[in-house]
A and B are shown apart, each in its own frame.
Chain A
Amino acid sequence: MGAGTSSTTGPGDSVQGRALWGLRAATVAQALALPLALCLLWEAAGRSGWMPEGILPPPSTVWQAWLAWAFADPGMGLNPYLGTWLPTVGYSASRVAKGFAVAIAIGVPAGILIGWSRMIARSVDPMIQSLRPIPITAWLPFSIAVFGIRDMGAVFLIAIGAFYPIVVNTTAGARDINKNLVRAARMMGASERQLLLRVVLPNALPSIFTGLRLGLGIAWTAVIVAEIVAVKSGLGYVLWDAYYVGRMDVVIADMVSIGIAGFLSDRLLLLVSNRVLHWKQFGAR
């Protein structure tokens, strides 16, 4: 029996029995040491005039820019970003949420069916596999043509990007099922539908969560690309707009915001995953 061992076969770096976000103070300190040192170095380089301010502003300038972006009174001055950080993050996050939800709603059922039925796999899988190599950036013109410069375009791109890892991992999870579990369910009178919902789906969940985490990463990439090109709000829009007007401090503050948003959403997903997959914690196989 695996009870008592703390190793886990759950998706990614899951950790149990730790503080929220799976981090402890000591771990946090260790994780932050290197980036902090680099920031100090960068700050020093900036102040010594060794690096031109307009191209790579030092962290302190970035921090000031972020403060203004986040908290300043919007009515003031010529800076169009004042006080707009929270709604900007909100636009991007809500697009990610919508596109990701669409990707799950299509990707998980599709993956279960493809993994379960050879007939469905033969008629659907080749199409999915041949569309998969098309990068989301290549979908941009199509997306703009169909949805225009609107929210839907971004949601579409995100959904496309997140769909592939979700469907592929769900398929793998549905295929990888112990034959005797299926036999046991049939022996106990489960219908095909019950078999899919009560046996194949839960059995695929660990693999599904792996796909969700990969998909969420792609979703953040997709939202930035879409907002740079096809939507007039959100972190991607600000990123490109700030670059055009030479506000590299805002550009970097924006990049850091994207990083943090992506990190936090991944941690949230990991938290849900550990909750849903609590039965994996005893780690037999």
Chain B
Amino acid sequence: MQIKTVFAGFGGQGVLMMGYSLAHAAMNEGLHVTYLPSYGAEVRGGTANCTVAVSDEEIASPVASQPDFIVAMNGPSLMAFQTRIAPGGAFFLNSSIVEGRPNRADVTVFEIPAAGIASELGSPRVQNVVMMGAYVKATRLVSADTYLKSLKSILGGRKKAAMDVNRKAFSAGYDSID
């Protein structure tokens, strides 16, 4: 098993954190993992993405030719990656923001109104964690339990209230898909 996921969106949507938290959880499940952020000019330009490879054996290339999963937090990310996604792969769309839909018939599409759900929770910033709830449920790459434990250790010293809202966001995302 070797799964590569690209997380993409505007800077400020917590895209790098999504990848980082997945990588962390995968490591804690004893899997091999690489996390590759975009950096520099791209970040300043307002878009960000990262690639996470998760595997049960040594990971050859951290670069993805054809990502299995794309998590698109905004419209441009869908456009940028719809030609590259692997046949049979899956798109996770932040459907409160992304208007378009992939032009590919050979991929699964999960629509998660992550930004909307996060606003309802009173914390627009946790839209990324809402998305991760859906992602973790659909991909089963890591267990929800491991993911939340990793999230907790990443948030570290921050207030308990912060973890509570993140936990809620995760559950809401998790329950948003079948």
Chain A complexes with chain B: no
Chain B interface (Cβ < 8 Å from any Cβ of A): none
Chain A interface (Cβ < 8 Å from any Cβ of B): none
